[in-house]
A and B are shown apart, each in its own frame.
Chain A
Amino acid sequence: MKMTKVEQKTIPLNGDEAVAYAVKQCDVDVVAAYPITPQTIIVEKFSEYVANGEVDTEFVCVESEHTAMTCSITAAATGARTFTATASAGLALMHEMLGVASGSRMPIVMSVVNRALSAPLNIHCDHADSMAQRDLGWIQMYAENSQEAYDSIIQAFKIAENLEVQLPIMVGIDGFVLSHTLENVTVLPDETVKKFVGIRQIPHVMNHRGEIVPFKLDPEKPLTLGPVALQDYYFEHKRQQEEAMKKALKVIKQVHNEYAKQSGRSYGNALVEAYRLEDAEIVTVCIGSTAGTIKTVVDDLREKGIKAGLLRLRTFRPVPVEDIISNLSGKKAVAVMDRSSSFGGNGGPIFIEIRHALYDVSDSPKVVNYIYGLGGRDTRPIMIESIYKDLQNIAKTGQIENKIQFVGLRE
């Protein structure tokens, strides 16, 4: 990617601060949020911006995450650009409203600071919270580091508000690992971001008077939003959401490339990032911050002549099936890393997607699953090395001993 002419500055920010900083620059109209560890810094920081007049935003400090999401929905329905943030139990409490947000086609941007779900209570990172929401019609993206968190939030507004998409987006950042760790983050000038996201565009629809009106609550052009749709129409609405997801695949790339021109930063092809994959024989697949650890292990293995590689999913919903196939077919063995468990399921949520995508491929690799890092369990390079060692064995023998394993657990 060509370097940009825009003057950027580099400042130390943790993941939460990076998110708040991006939101500050995006000319957001309404932020409705409720604090929860490890997301708290985002709302605290944003409250400071509001208190100091650094943003022109209505900040609604609500009484629960359920209301945070509800306010976001109706504020967006009124025409406002909206943002919220949460984690873990807060996301679980929003569950009901997440489906309303996507079904009502509200382009809300939400940062999810990934944290384990109770019980037992745990405040540290895993992906159980957002994985439990994966079928609700939200676009899901996961950042590897604070820089990407910053960049992704800005892109998210433009993706969500795209007239062909009109879907809510959650951007996941790993709790504590990213949220509370200082990093040097390069930020764009305020004006550049403001221009990049622009003013929220609103599609047009037909109302009950037979008029074509802006898709928002406007007394001059009334419309009814959120009706009862029964056996005769509910299905058609769900089909529309599938179509929007399909379109999002294209738009996520477009926005990412456009942003790359401004910032000089890019993340693979926006949907997936392939790391030393071209000639790789054994590959891990992951989302989020663990990719950073894996990359160093891959570099070490490469020095030893082992053909290791990594495929990081940046976008998990919609699933980039084509990219999974093109990057993984022909490989010898693939280990999918899941930082959440689908209890009683046939592997973790990412594993299920990857293995399924490769089912119809003639030169499909052997695919195994590693559940790791639940409740913030540290994921050390030695664990990743052991996974690649397993993959080497599978590649050599063609035999899978254990399809689903737990790594970093006291057996």
Chain B
Amino acid sequence: MTEWKVTGKEFAKIPEKFMPGHRACAGCGPAIALRLVMKAARGPVIATNATGCMEVVSTIYPNTAWDVPWIHTAFETAAANAAGIESALKILRKKGRIKDEHIDVVAFAGDGGTFDIGFQALSGAVERGHDFLYVLYDNEAYMNTGIQRSGGTPHGAWTTTSPAGEVIPGKPQYKKPIADIMVAHEMPYVATASIGYWNDMVKKARKGMEINGPAFLHSFAPCPRGWRSETAQSVEISRLAVETCVFPLWEAECGEYKLSPKSKIIAMKPEKKKPVEVYLKTQRRFRHLFKPKNKHILDEIQNNVDRRWKKLLKACEIE
């Protein structure tokens, strides 16, 4: 498989399949992720969504932002939706009831629909080996229902169900390492991506569609509303997450980890790795952590990032 190369100008010529007029908030990270992935499609594509922000904002009846065939069924069903579509396409093509051409199937779900309620369907679909790309747009909480914590919410973050209280200052638990869990399925392709590095992201999305069998793309997508961040900074924050190694970029084919260019630079030149505080300060969901009495949480977060980064380097066989 040759890697897809695309310049900004070439990319700009690709028609929008996720159309304007959707009702995402200003500065929505997930909306950027969806646009980028849909523009990365190589040919005919069917899309499906879990219930969540992106489903709600894009299909308020009678309007739709999708200029491709698209279906939503429920919250926990993105992977199962894709499984049903892919199975039908396979047999209908075999029977000659549809055109004999490959159709990519792309499933979108947020962190709630992936880390939590939809995990069983995802794990099952991957185990069965359906040919589809699963795109997790991770904005680190249940934003659609009003910023409640999910298994994807990071340690220390304020949400409406992990409030920054006097006794419990934000979410006590750490974020579930969902992409690593998917790698543990020994599936054909897993990658992390950030909207801050669009070219890396669209290449990975294309690759995920091209690969036979299930592919999982964990895309980091800030939510200004829920993160209490500036709408203009969504892309910048996505880059900071990579530069601090809070969200490193890598891919894994059949369980073999490989760092992506931006994170590889940091691996080669550790002095380029920024402290997590630089990232945390951009979001008021972490504001309480900067009180003197919560200093230990900042240390815990930095330690955890360092530990996980080291683990990743080891998995990538970089010493």
Contacts and interface: CB of A to CB of B under 8 A. Distances in A.
Given A32-B87, A62-B124, A70 B60 contact: no
Contacts of A63: 120-121, 123-124, 127
A222 B70 contact: yes
B97 A79 contact: yes
Interface in B44-65: 44-46, 48, 55-56, 59-64
A221 B68 CA distance: 8
A201 to B, nearest CB: 12
Contact of A228 (B61, B85, B125): B61
A74 B48 contact: yes
B70 to A, nearest CB: 5
Contacts of B265: none
B61 A58 contact: no
A61 B128 CA distance: 8
B87 A227 contact: no
A122 to B, nearest CB: 25
B316 interface: no
Interface in A289-344: none
B84 A226 contact: no
Interface in A77-102: 77-80, 82, 96-97, 100
Contacts of A223: 69-70
A73 B72 contact: no
Given A100-B74, A227-B72, A78 B60 contact: no
A78 B92 contact: yes
A117 interface: no
Given A73-B73, A222-B70, A29 B61 contact: no
B36 interface: no
Contact of A96 (B59, B74, B91, B103): B74
Interface stretch (B75-83, B156-164, B200-208): B75-83
Interface in A177-212: 199, 208-209
Given A60-B84, A80-B88, A226 B61 contact: no
Contact of B84 (A75, A209, A216): A75
Contact of A29 (B66, B77, B88): B88
B95 A233 contact: no
B71 A225 contact: yes
Contacts of B94: 56
Interface string B98-125: 1100010000000000000000110111
Interface residues of A, number: 49
A104 interface: yes
A61 B64 CA distance: 33
B176 interface: no
A229 interface: yes
A270 interface: no
A232 B61 CA distance: 9
A90 to B, nearest CB: 14
A338 to B, nearest CB: 31
Contacts, number: 166
B59 A104 contact: no
B96 to A, nearest CB: 11
Contacts of B84: 30, 32, 60, 70-78
Contact of B91 (A29, A208, A219, A233): A29
Contacts of A47: none
Contact of B80 (A71, A78, A221, A222): A71
Given A219-B44, A228-B60, A233-B62, A70 B120 contact: no
A370 to B, nearest CB: 38
A405 interface: no
Interface in A211-266: 216-230, 232-233
Contacts of B81: 70, 73-74
B91 A227 contact: no
Nearest to A200: B97
Contacts of A75: 84-85, 87-88
Contact of B88 (A58, A66, A209, A221): A58
A228 B69 contact: no
A58 B69 contact: no
A29 B63 CA distance: 31
Interface in B135-167: none
B300 interface: no
A100 B73 CA distance: 6
Query: Which of B83, B120, B123 has the largest number of chain A CB atoms within 10 A?
Result: B83
B89 interface: yes
A243 B69 CA distance: 27
B67 interface: yes
B90 interface: yes
A217 B83 contact: no
Contact of A222 (B69, B77, B82, B90): B69
B252 to A, nearest CB: 23
Contact of A224 (B45, B59, B98): B59
Contacts of B71: 74, 77, 217, 224-226
A149 to B, nearest CB: 25
A67 B73 CA distance: 11
A379 interface: no
A74 B73 contact: yes
Contact of A60 (B68, B95, B128): B128
A29 B96 CA distance: 12
A37 interface: no
Contact of A56 (B56, B67, B95): B95
A133 interface: no
A108 to B, nearest CB: 11
B178 to A, nearest CB: 18
14 contacts: A29-B92, A29-B95, A30-B88, A58-B87, A63-B121, A63-B127, A67-B83, A74-B85, A79-B92, A97-B74, A217-B85, A224-B66, A225-B69, A227-B62
Interface of B: 44-46, 48, 55-56, 59-64, 66-74, 76-77, 80-85, 87-92, 94-95, 97-99, 103, 120-121, 123-125, 127-128
Given A71-B84, A78-B88, A222-B67, 6 more contacts: A104-B73, A208-B64, A224-B59, A224-B64, A224-B71, A228-B61
